Every structure is written in structure tokens, then in C-alpha cells.
A and B are shown apart, each in its own frame.
Chain A
Amino acid sequence: MLVRWLLVLCAVVMPTVVHADAFSDAVGKLASEDQDTVRSGVQEIAVSGDARSLGVLHALRDGKLKVDGSVVVQEDGSKWKRAVDGSVITPSSKPRKVASNNAVRRAMAPAIARLELTSKDVTLRRAAAEELRRSTPPEELAPVLREAYKAEKDPQTKGSLELALADVDLASRDAAKRYEAVRILGARGDIAFKSKLEPLVERDSDGSYREPDGKVREAAAEVLSSLRWKELTNRIVGDIMYGLSLGSVLLLAALGLAITFGLMGVINMAHGEILMLGAYSSYVVQILFQRHFPEHFDMYIFVALPVAFVVCALVGIAIERTILRFLYGRPLETLLATWGVSLALIQTVRLLFGAQNVAVAAPSFLSGGWEMLEGVVLPYNRMVIVLFGALVVAFVWMILTRTRLGLEVRAVTQNRGMAACMGISTARVDMYTFGIGSGVAGLGGVALSQIGNVGPELGQNYIVDSFMVVVLGGVGKLAGTVIGAFGLGIVNKLLEPVSGAVLGKIIVLGLIILFIQKRPQGIFALKGRAVEG
């Protein structure tokens, strides 16, 4: 944007010298109705060396250059100027567009870049060099590039130019130049070069190599294999990172379930909807901040977390008190009743907030990402979710192992009757456990609101996965849930590029079903009498 603006500025302050020369001729060609003439005009402008060239080409690129009869005019606000000297004129009629086709447009970009390379502005040169590196520059630009490369002091621009040159050289007739080019590309090791090197080792339909020189071929093959390796490792590292991020999402979704299902043996089919309520809590808090404290908008997330926890915990406690406590020991009935609750919650949210997805804006400090490896960008929100997942696990672990409530929860889990005899109010413990499980689900919901759509059906997308995580990890084991979630996330992401997202998911579900065959109790099996009860 800045570059373009500068260019317009340049065009305006350009000296208005009138003389018939190569530049004026070339500009004149733009008025032709024949696109080939226009194209050669563009190329001639580029090599004319005139200081005004860049401004004209830029105006052409931006569609500000029009043709009035045989005169090329440039739009400047509401006025018209002659492109050659910048003098103001009144067009005879409505000016037509410059005749243009793909060839013209293709010629334009490198032509502009060539001019920009000689600019004094480093930003401009960098951008131009980068542009050239991305496109394959025409061979006739090679001398200009070489010149610019030699003259260039800025290392970043120089690097881009070197690659652009190598690119040009790859098409050279001189085998030595091609060899050198391959070496340069190899030394840089960008995965993006793969497609440029691949033709060198391919055969034509008649069986002969496209690259006649054996040495170049060999070098290219070597570089290619190292690039492929790098690509593969990058991809696997990337998949694992994405898998960890997906895993932490699953973990946040499943952790609440691990508490209610794992510790209390309650099948809560409304768990997904509690996640959804957490996400909507985040939405509501966000709206309130937008209305009342727009200057502190980014802070809403820190308010949303406790709000979601409390809202979801209260809903969870309400479910436990009114329904679940009558159904302990009847897990299938619990399953059906909580499914009913989930329907009611979905419908209520639909009536309150509409059936459409709502937008939850992420705080600004969560946008953006970190490019860990070439092609592996980790968005900040995903990274924060991994951290957040770890914090929530630690929080749950602390509650279970370091508090009186945790002690009582574990006692009730192991032997309800005995715990009751020892004066523990099992009803109260049930209520709190369910409240905590639901509250944690609410925290998960806030996290989900930061990375995906928030809609009434949000929970339905997570319920099956959440159950799979808990079953896979081994019921009643926090560590199992963590490993189950990350294992599932990583396997899912590793499969995705091979089989596609949907099929990958199907395969994962199939694998879980097979895994449960081998280890019906999950990764961390409870053994002994506890299982047989």
C-alpha cells in the first residue's frame, strides 16, 4: 500500500519535460488497439531508462491510464493529464481503456519490478526483488538483474535477487549456469523451489531427459531429495504441532466429561451443550464489553472465563439436583435423560440467540501467528489454548489431590457406602463434582469460542470425540484423558493429509473401536476387584 502511494506521489511530482524520445514513442504505443503493440510499448517503457517510466507503468497497472483518441491520458482525481508530460488536458470524449490482455499484464509486472530495482527506496527494492523471485523473470531481464544484484547492498534484497537470477539461469542454455543455479537453490533450501527443480529430472514423452546435462540432473536430484526430506519432516512436525493443538482442544472438551463420567460414572450427553453454553457465555461477555467498555475490549476474555465457569457449573448442578441424582446406578437411563436435557438447552439457545452461528471476536493479542518452520505457522490462539489446556488440567489435578473436596470425591468414587459411613455427605460431593466437571466444560467452551464457530449445535460436534477421548484414555484416569486427547489429536492430524479430513476422522473412529477390542479398559486400565463390581 505504502509503495503504491509513494509511486503515485512520484508520478505527480515528475518533471514535465517534453521531448520526442524512446520513452514518448513507447508511451504512444499504449494508445494502439493491437495488444501486441501495447505489450511491446510496456517493455520499451521498462527499458527506456526514463525516470517517468515507473509512474506511467504504475498508473497502467492501477487502471488509471486511459486512451483519448491517439493520446494516452492519466486520470488524476477528476482531472486528466497527458501521460507523457503530465500537462492537463480535457478529453474529447470519454477515454477508453488501454487495450490489454494476459500477455500485456504478464509483461507489466516484471517491467515495473525492473524499474523498482533501481529505485533508491530499500522497501521498494525489497518488494520488487521478492516479486521477481516469486514469478519467473523473462530471460531478457537477466542482465538487469545481474547488474542490480551486483549493485545491491541490502542483504534481503540481494538474497531475493540471487534466487530470481538462479531462476532465470535455470532456463539458460549454458549448462554451467544451470548447474550454478541449482547449487544456489540447494544452498538456500526453500521448499518452494521444489517445483522449479522438478522439471530438471523429468523425462519427456519420448523418454529423453528434459535436462540434457547429467551433472545438472544429478545436482538437481540431490537438492530435490533433500528438499523433499525437509518438506516431509516439516510437514510431520507441523502435523504434530497442529495435532497438539487439536489435542488440547479435545482435552478441554473432554476434561469435564472425564470428571463426570470417569469419577461419577454419569453419562452426561448434555456435556457438549455445556461446552456450548460456555462458548455463549464468552459471546455475551464480549458483547457487553463491546457496548460498555470498548476501550478494554481485549480484557473481556479474562472476565469470560470465570463467568463461563460459574454459569456452566450452575447449570450442571441444576441438572444433577433435578435429574441425575434420581438415576445413579442406572447409566443407560442417565444417558437418555441427559440427551433430553441437551435438546432443551439447544432449543433454548436457539430461541435466545438465533439458530445462526454468532461471531466471537478474539482479543487482538491472540491474532497472528508464529512461523515455526517453513510452511508451519502456529496461530497464537492455538498456542495459548495448549497452554490453557495445561493450566486447566493442573487446576483439576490440584482440586482432586490437594483439597478436602478432592479427597472426598476420591473417597466417594472408590466406595460410596464407606464414604457415607465416614460422615461424607455423598449428595453434596456429587453435586460439587458435577458442578466442577460442568464448570471445566465451560472453560473449554470459552476456548472453543476463540478458534471456531459458535452456534447452538457446537456441542454436538464435540460430544462423540469427547467420549472417545475418555474411553480411549481409560475411565477414571486424568492422565489417560490427557494422553487420549493428544493421541487422538495427533493421529487425526497425521492422517488428514493422507486421507482427507473426513475420511481421516472415520479412520480414527474405526481405530478406536479396534483399540477398545484389545484394551476394553482404555490405555490406563483399572484392574482387580474395582472393575468387576
Chain B
Amino acid sequence: MLSKLKSERELQVVAGAFALFGLIVPLLHLFVPETSPLHVPDYLVQLLGKFACFAMAALALDLIWGFTGVLSLGQGVFFALGGYCMGMYLMRSMAGMGVYKSELPDFMVFLDWKELPWYWQGFDSFPFALVMAMVVPGILAFCFGFLAFRSRIRGVYFSIITQAMTFAMMLLFFRNETGFGGNNGLTDFKKLVGYSMQDDATKLTLYVISIVALFGSYFICRALTRSKAGRVLKAIRDVESKTMFCGYNTRDFKLFAWTFAAVLSGLAGALYVPQVGIINPSEMEPSASIEMAIWVAVGGRGTLVGAMLGAGVVNGMKSWLTASYPDAWLYALAALFVLVTLLLPDGLVGLIKRLAAMKRPKAPSNPGAIVAPEAGKA
């Protein structure tokens, strides 16, 4: 009964947040005069839209790490791949509007390419690009995961080879010959399905779509984690061998969660790129993927709300510090990595639960503490 109550409270919190970000923020942006302290300025809308995409990526990572116990250091690659798919559409949709007035993207003209490479075909269609933004990361994750889980690579080994994959993908995308704009990536976008990307209305719409997508993802993940399959994933995280002896093909379950997480990250990346107006290989740097892990860890892994909260808090800090105290940001991030792993294994959500339990001394015998999952026991 208690868990039911808790889950209802969680739903209330999430619904409140959804109303705040999906409804009140746009209203404050549109109808409150700029002089008012309640006005939400342009840059804040954009920032929150970005955070919504990060929060989606955090949900994905939480699914595979927090719930399944597999720490992926390659989530940034899937995010970036989704972003690249969207970027390719945006590049195609501005054919003839570039510096060279060519049908081809500018960087291809610059490389003296005469025609579109085969893998750019079809990206002039928005639905195709959107689907590919999920399919491409999904296929990469499926193939990689199939090989890795089949040979029972677990724990830190898995993390390390996902990092190697990330590194390899980053190198690949840095090359000009790969055909994604090399170092500079894809940028200077002009139009999204016919609307100018500079328009305030387009930006606000993108923001609202991101918020809706985030909460949609949350509910899908929630349903997933509360299904029997979700319980199997948690069982794999805690005692994989036992789960196998219970008759579950843990490889299939891990592969499913891993692929699903990649698809979700890809979607997040696809929403992210039109809002920031650029995608380049720096999104694939190993550090970007590890940073995602700290979002989840700060919020509280194994809880979906925690993942979203963590993405918001860490990125909010990042935006503030890199603007105000640029030298301090890396130290702050370093401190987060160290302190959260040492002192807050359950993240902010765990802290809140603990504080709540202290307030109610007559709490039930189970204080709701999450036993630290023995993830990564190789």
C-alpha cells in the first residue's frame, strides 16, 4: 500500500512539473511584459528546452544503468547520432540557401564533392529523418549490444568498451571524408519543416515539443519499469546469475533495455539539435557520455524522477558556472563526481527520502532506502 501511495505522490510531482514547464513557462514568456521579474526571457526558454532533451537522455541512461545495472559510457554517441540525423535533414532542407548556393551542403562543395553520398539520401524528408534519428542509434546499439552481451561482457568491462566505441565514433566523425562536416559538424540551419529557425514562435514550439516528448518518455519508461520486464531488469542489476537460473534470458533483456535506451537518446538528440542550431563531433567526446552518468548519479539512479532532476540540476549549475566562474566549473563537476559517489549513492532523491524519513520518526520499518545495487560485479 505504501508503495502505491509513494508512486501517487511521484505522479503528482511529475504532473506539477509538467504543468509548470509545459504551460506556465510558455505563458510567462508570451504574456508577461519583459519588464516584469516573472517574464521568462528567450534565452531561458531555449535553455530549458535544451535541458528537457538532456533529461530525456538521462532517462535513457537511467534505464540501462540505474535499472539494469549496465553503465554505458556511450550514451552520448546515440544522442549525437540522433542529432546528426536531424542535422542532415536541416542541411538538406536549406539546399541552395548556403554560401555556395549549391544543392549540396556547403562543406561538400568545399570538399569538391559532386553528388550526395548514398547515406544522405532520403534525409530531405522530415519524417524519414525523425525515424532514422531513432533507428540509426537503435541499430548501432543492437549490433554492439548483441556482440557484447553474447560474450557476457559485464560491469566495468562493458563500460570500458563502450568508451572505446565512443572514442572510435568520435574519431570517425572528426574526419572530413566521413561526410558529416568533420570538425565543424552541421550548422547554420535555416528552416525546419518550412518555418524559419530564427522565429520566436518556432523556438517556443520546439520547446513545448521537447517538454511534451520528455514527459511522454517519462510515462513510457515508467510503464516499462513497472512492468514485469522492468522487474526482471532490476533483478538482472542485482543478481544476474539468479535471474538466469530463474529461466530468463538475461542477454535478451539487457539487449532490449540497451537498444531502447539508445533509441530514446537518439530522439533526445534529434530534438536537441534544432534548438542549439549545431551538431558536431564534440558531442561524441567520451567526457560528454560520462557527464550524462553524473546527471543520473546526482539525481538518483534507479528513479526516473531522479534522472530528470539530476539532468536539470547539473546542467543548470553548468550554465550558471561556465558563465559566471568559468574556471570553477570543472572543479565543481569534479567535486560532484567524487562527492556523489562517496556520500550520496542514492543521489538527491535518496537524500530527500532520507530527510522525509527523519521528519517522520514513526515511519514504517522500511525507510525506503534503496540497497545499493551491486552493479558491475564482474
In the complex, are there CB atoms of A and B closer than 8 Å?
A: yes
Could you list which residues of chain A lie within 8 angstroms of chain B, going by C-beta atoms?
267, 269, 323, 326-327, 330-337, 339-344, 346-347, 351, 460, 464, 467-468, 471, 502-503, 505-506, 509-510, 512-514, 516-518, 520
Q: Tell me the minimal C-beta distance from A360 to chain B in angstroms.
A: 24
Contact B164 A332 (CB under 8 A): no
Say yes or no: is B264 at the interface (Cβ < 8 Å to chain A).
no
Which single member of A343, A471, A503 contacts B337 (CB below 8 Å)?
A343
Show 17 residue pairs from A and B whose CB-CB distance is below 8 angstroms, ordered by the A residue. A267-B159, A267-B160, A327-B342, A330-B376, A335-B159, A336-B293, A337-B342, A343-B331, A343-B334, A344-B330, A344-B331, A344-B335, A468-B164, A503-B175, A505-B171, A517-B148, A517-B150
Contact A337 B341 (CB under 8 A): yes
Which B311-339 residues sit within 8 Å CB-CB of chain A? Answer: 327, 330-331, 333-338
- Chain B at the A interface: SS class: helix
A518 to B148 Cα, complex, angstroms: 10
Most A C-beta atoms less than 10 A away, residue of B71, B287, B334, B375:
B334
B153: which A residues are within 8 A, CB to CB? 516, 520
Say yes or no: is B161 at the interface (Cβ < 8 Å to chain A).
yes
Q: Indicate whether A331 sits within 8 Å of B155 (C-beta atoms), given known contacts A344-B330, A344-B331, A467-B164.
A: yes
Which single member of A343, A514, A520 contacts B333 (CB below 8 Å)?
A343
Closest partner residue, chain A, to B372 (CB atom): A330
Contact A331 B147 (CB under 8 A): no
Q: Indicate whether A341 sits within 8 Å of B165 (C-beta atoms), given known contacts A332-B155, A335-B71, A336-B294.
A: no
Q: Indicate whether A340 sits within 8 Å of B171 (C-beta atoms), given known contacts A513-B161, A513-B164.
A: no
Contact A340 B334 (CB under 8 A): yes
Contact A339 B164 (CB under 8 A): no
Which B322-376 residues sit within 8 Å CB-CB of chain A? Answer: 327, 330-331, 333-338, 340-342, 345, 372, 375-376
Q: Tell me the minimal C-beta distance from A265 to chain B in angstroms.
A: 8
B174: which A residues are within 8 A, CB to CB? 502
Could you list which residues of chain B lie within 8 angstroms of chain A, going by C-beta atoms?
71, 144, 147-148, 150-153, 155-157, 159-161, 163-165, 167-168, 171-172, 174-175, 286-287, 290, 293-294, 297, 327, 330-331, 333-338, 340-342, 345, 372, 375-376, 378
Contact A347 B334 (CB under 8 A): yes
- Further pairs besides A330-B372, A347-B334: 8, Cβ < 8 Å: A337-B341, A344-B335, A460-B287, A467-B160, A502-B171, A502-B172, A513-B148, A520-B151
Q: Indicate whether A464 sits within 8 Å of B338 (C-beta atoms), given known contacts A330-B376, A344-B331, A346-B330.
A: no
- Chain A at the B interface: SS class: helix
Q: Tell me the minimal C-beta distance from B61 to chain A in angstroms.
A: 12
Contact A351 B327 (CB under 8 A): yes
B335: which A residues are within 8 A, CB to CB? 340, 344
Closest partner residue, chain B, to A471 (CB atom): B160
Contact B345 A520 (CB under 8 A): no
B378: which A residues are within 8 A, CB to CB? 331
A340 to B338 Cα, complex, angstroms: 6
B293: which A residues are within 8 A, CB to CB? 336
A313 to B158 Cα, complex, angstroms: 28
A323 to B343 Cα, complex, angstroms: 11
B327: which A residues are within 8 A, CB to CB? 347, 351
Contact A502 B376 (CB under 8 A): no
A333 to B148 Cα, complex, angstroms: 21
Q: Indicate whether A336 sits within 8 Å of B337 (C-beta atoms), given known contacts A513-B161, A517-B151.
A: yes
B375: which A residues are within 8 A, CB to CB? 332
